[in-house]
Structure 1
Amino acid sequence: MATKRLARCGAPAGGGVEFPAVLLNTSTGEIESEFHTYVQPQEHPILSEFCTELTGITQNQVDGGVPLNVCLSQFLKWIQKIQKEKKIIFSTDLLSNSTSEAKACTFVTWTDWDLGVCLQYECKRKQLRKPDIFNSWIDLKATYRVRRLID
């Protein structure tokens, strides 16, 4: 299971400034691989005091980051590497790469904000193609709510 979170700071244009993910083995609870980069804000390059206080992310960190298109490219290279090494497959790959030895993997987020709103909006605004791998995820907050209603 991979998890991803985009830290954002409420700038008028929105946008994520941090792009972390981990590959978590749900059988062992071990983190098997990590990805992390800061994303340089393009429209509002200076972080607000609110953003720094909210996230703990500093101006120096985002200044040393990369534009979103570079971040996505780096992330996809990381995903491809761990897919090969760990023999994992995402639901968006099932039709083209189905093998009996592949282990299922999915993104897990807390709400639909990261993948369903923020990344989609940022890619559209920046005229980037959102990679298909981000079209399927588990919203852990919604799952938790449903589970609480059942119990």
Structure 2
Amino acid sequence: QLGLIRRSSTTSSNGKNEARTKLRQLFDYLIIIDFESTCWKDGKRHYSQEIIEFPAVLLNTSNGEIESEFHMYVQPQEHPILSEFCTELTGIKQNQVDEGVPLNISLSQFSKWIQKIQREKKIIFNPDVSSHSVPEAKSCAFVTWSDWDLGVCLQYECKRKQLRKPDILNSWIDLRATYKVFYARKPKGLNGALQDLGIVFAGREHSGLDDSRNTARLAWKMICDGCVMKITKFLDKKLLRGSLLVQKPFHQPKSSHLIYMKIKLLIATRL
């Protein structure tokens, strides 16, 4: 269902596993996002979480290079004072969020960064619609570790605060689910997934920017192992319908079924 492809590898003379051939990716670039948010150890689970760190890294799927980064600390409005647990977990200090900007400004700055890399690298986010009008267009998709970042955290905070969220953030690749299907095992967190593949986590865990960079490293390793990245989550029903139409060939119904559908439509229009 995730559209994953596994390909065999061979062992080179120096003992390292190398790919026989590199499978063509659906996306030329991936943008990895890993938010950090307000959190509490216990007793306050009913509190709504707010984003306090907004990072994104741009990964080139042809060479594994991170070509651009975006990073901002975000000022929480509903619960502006960070809990001691949150500071210890994320390493984010109170003065960093105090000097940050509200989420709406962060989203605006993020959109400007997106526009910049679109101009510089001819990136598009909807190949079916835009690729014909942009010569040598490079397709791009978002990646997160689970659906929480874009499907829960950003989605509900924007709803609560009545903020407009960029439409391009309505679909993404859940790398955790992709990893689970591709390698046929459940990862024990991002660090556990990296360790399983012989990769040492670089930086500080639960730092949004470091997590994003390490998720990019994991995605590149999976690509090298033969995983073809594919969108796993759609919040926009129009995008979902379009995807299903692309993936599923149209089968002409039998004549009797056509007659039945015409009768049903006629009855519906007269009611």
TM-score (norm 2): 0.53
Q: Distance in 2 between matches of 1:74 and 1:127?
A: 18
Are the equivalent residues in 2 in contact too, given 1:8–1:15 (CA < 8 A)?
A: yes
Are the equivalent residues in 2 in contact too, given 1:90–1:133 (CA < 8 A)?
A: yes
User: 1:61-80, aligned counterparts within 5 Å?
Assistant: 61-80=96-115
Pairing 1:6–2:39 present: no
Q: Comparing both structures, which one devotes a greater share of its residues to strand?
A: 1
CA deviations 1:85-129 (Å, max 9, x no partner) are: 0111113x7425643411111111000000111100010000012
Q: Which residue of 1 aligns with 2:50?
A: 15
Change (3 A) 1:128 1:94: farther
Pairing 1:26–2:61 present: yes
Tell me the percent identity: 71
Q: Which residue of 2 aligns with 1:126?
A: 161
Q: Distance in 1 between matches of 2:33 and 2:143?
A: 7
Q: Distance in 2 between matches of 1:130 and 1:94?
A: 22
Are the equivalent residues in 1 in contact too, given 2:124–2:130 (CA < 8 A)?
A: no
Are the equivalent residues in 2 in contact too, given 1:39–1:68 (CA < 8 A)?
A: yes
Q: Distance in 1 between matches of 2:80 and 2:152?
A: 21
CA deviations 1:54-85 (Å, max 9, x no partner) are: 10111111111110000000000000010010
Counterpart secondary structure, 1:36: strand
Pick 1 or 2: higher relative contact order, CA cutoff 8 A, min separation 6: 2
Are the equivalent residues in 2 in contact too, given 1:9–1:50 (CA < 8 A)?
A: no
Are the equivalent residues in 2 in contact too, given 1:123–1:129 (CA < 8 A)?
A: yes
Unaligned runs of 5+ in 2: 1-29, 41-46, 186-271
Unaligned runs of 5+ in 1: none
Across the two proteins, how many residue pairs are aligned to each other?
A: 149
Pairing 1:47–2:82 present: yes
Deviates further, 11-20 or 114-123: 11-20
Are the equivalent residues in 2 in contact too, given 1:90–1:104 (CA < 8 A)?
A: yes
Structure 1 runs of 4+ off > 3 angstroms? none
Pairing 1:81–2:122 present: no
| AA matched with 2:165 | K
2:137 to 94, 102, 111: 102
